[in-house]
Amino acid sequence: MKQRSFSAAIKYMVAVLFIGGSIGLLISLVSSVFVASVNWLVQSRSEMSDKLLLFSDTELSLVPLISLVLAAVMLAIVRRLFLIDRWHGPADSIYAAHRTDNELNVRAGIGSTLAAFISLCGGAPVGQYGPLVHFGAVIGSCLSEFFGSRRVTADVFIGCGVAAAIAAGFHAPIAGVVFAHEAVLRHFSFRAITPIAVASITSAWFSSKMFGGQPIFQIDVVLPELLSLVPILLGSGLFFGLIAIIFMHLLFASGKLAARTKLTPLALGLVAAVICGVVAIFVPEVMGLGVETVNKILDDEYLVGFLLVLLVFKLLVTTLSIGFGLYGGIFSPALFIGAAAGGFIAKVIALVGLASAPQLLAVAGMAAVASAVVGAPIAVVLIVLEFTMSYEFAVAAMLSVVVATLLSSLLYGHSFFDEQLSRRGIDLAQGRGNLELMNQSIADVVSDEYVILSKNFLVKSAIKAMAKAGVSEGYCLGKDNDFIGKCSLQHLLLVHQDDNLITHLMDEPVTLNHDASIMQAIEIASEFVGEAIPVINRANNELTGVVSEADIFQAYLST
């Protein structure tokens, strides 16, 4: 590593502290206002519930249904105002951190955050942390362009925004630092960790000072001997892993179902709003963030049957909402689902006569399901440590987390966000170099220096043209430059010179689509033997140029 002078080191340190602190303060303010506003509006809506009852002699309220329908209409307006074809979230933040340009769509990011705010205020069963994480990444990306700092790279700005959002949301600065590295950047370095740590700590401090620092979930219980619970925690990890896999499968299945209906975004949102609104009338506990319900699970207030109801209905309404366009995060629902699953398995174990700790299994379930879904097991365990302030709880949670994440990775994949990117043709497992090759078009290296041969040529005319140009391959084209075929000088020299050229073209020559990436070209060229590969526009069969293996290799070396 190149050493700096003392003055350069001081300037770098000042820049790092300023950037980290600025991002931490800004994201903390926005996140805290976001959360406080959602809580206030939800509380206001809750106070109205007894004024619009389904039946006068019951507690069944129509307010959840009405608020969700209004939210669906407002989301359609936001989609149109911000020209958003799909909602953006943490998957886009992760992808941006691995791209060379590191840019995020600011308009889509702000619009998606506003959409999540509307969904949450309407009572949709979605989360708030995913949208806040993405908003933090968007702000980091914007500030990177604004400062234009060469000392701190754009991906570190994004990491600062992500860490600050997690720290403000959970009052967990250590978890924020680890989450940014583990889930987003996917690497640790001295260059990145200092500004990210400053942003995370500043965010948590400012949020605590200005808005209070009470943990979201309250746990007050004396743990039994941990050693005796190790088999139960490990075994329950398998159950939590399966629940996480089911959750992720249902999220994508809901999206596929929505696409298959061919309905407009407004119609899809209204369908989800009506269904969830009806569910909310009878099982209101599964709607919204569900913090109060999770705290009751942690206090062991529910029976086994109702815990199963909470688990099943939360899975269904959350996946329906997100799939049909009531946008929000998946982290909070994963915590809720994990808590319900943990509480349920604890009750089942108790029913068969075995000793269990309901609160401990509920916390372990929260951590295990959430870590498998978001792909950040270490960060989630640290969140447990920071909001419980209990080493025993963190160790217990880790036992279930490692089993659940291992099972999920083997049967499903790294995380829900990675699967989102994979379905868009983006494989983060290939590394940043390969991602850059995937983003670079073959059009950047295509050459227009090739021999054009008429389909009316005789073999001897084609040989003469290729010999004059000093090449061993030629391309037979029609009158509109449409690709007919490719021929080899070596083959033509072995056939009758007065034959028609078109009868001696190669059978199924290797070609590339004009919008192929360098990565795709490398894969195709790995089995290619010849001088160059024709690049063709499949829409009209036009030859746009040729590319040699040397051109592809040079593009690879330049990444």
426 or 194, higher pLDDT: 194
pTM, whole model, 2 decimals? 0.81
Mean pLDDT of the chain: 87
Pick the CATH number of 6-211 from 1.10.3720.10, 2.60.40.10, 1.20.120.530, 1.10.3080.10: 1.10.3080.10
DSSP E strands, 181-308: none
* pLDDT tens profile 323-359: 999 999 999 999 999 999 999 999 999 888 776 788 8
Start-end ranges of CATH 1.10.3080.10 in the chain?
6-211, 227-431
In this predicted structure, the answer to whether residue 101 has a pLDDT above a threshold of 80 is no
The two structure tokens encoding residue 372: 């498998």
Calculate mean pLDDT across residues 88-92. 92
Instruction: List the 483-488 sheet strands across, edge first.
Output: 452-454, 473-477, 483-488
Q: DSSP per residue over 494-542, as a string? A: TS-TTSBGGGGPPSS---EETT-BHHHHHHHHTT--SS-EEEEETTTTE
Kindly state the DSSP code that residue 185 receives in the 8-state scheme. I
* pLDDT tens profile 268-277: 999 999 999 9
Residue type, 19: I
**Helical residues (DSSP H) of 153-222, grouped into ranges:** 154-170, 173-179, 190-211
* pLDDT tens profile 399-423: 999 999 999 999 998 889 999 988 8
pLDDT band for 119, please (50, 70, 90 cuts).
very high
Instruction: Yes or no: say if 247 and 322 are a contact pair by the CB < 8 Å rule.
Output: no
pLDDT at 444: 82
Instruction: Yes or no: say if 501 and 453 are a contact pair by the CB < 8 Å rule.
Output: yes
Which range, 75-89, 215-229, 515-529, has the best average confidence (pLDDT)?
Answer: 75-89
Burial 493-511 (b: 16+ CB within 10 A, else e): eeeeeeeebbebbeeebeb
Task: Compute CA distances 224 → 123, 386, 399, whole Å.
Answer: 37, 20, 16
pLDDT at 54: 54
The fold adopted by the segment(s) 227-431 is Clc chloride channel (1.10.3080)
The two structure tokens encoding residue 260: 């298959």
Task: Compute CA distances 534 → 458, 469, 548, whole Å.
Answer: 22, 17, 9
In this predicted structure, the answer to whether residue 55 has a pLDDT above a threshold of 60 is no
The fold adopted by the segment(s) 440-557 is CBS-domain (3.10.580)
* Partners of residue 535 on adjacent β-strands: 512, 545
C-alpha span between 180 and 104 (Å, rounded): 16
SS3 484: strand
* pLDDT tens profile 430-445: 666 666 667 777 888 8
194 or 353, higher pLDDT: 194
In this predicted structure, the answer to whether residue 76 has a pLDDT above a threshold of 90 is yes
pLDDT at 53: 56
State the Cα angle at 307 between 393 and 56, rounded to 5°: 130
Neighbours of 285 (CB within 10 A): 20
In this predicted structure, the answer to whether residue 56 has a pLDDT above a threshold of 60 is no
SS3 2: coil
pLDDT at 97: 85
Instruction: Yes or no: say if 124 and 287 are a contact pair by the CB < 8 Å rule.
Output: yes
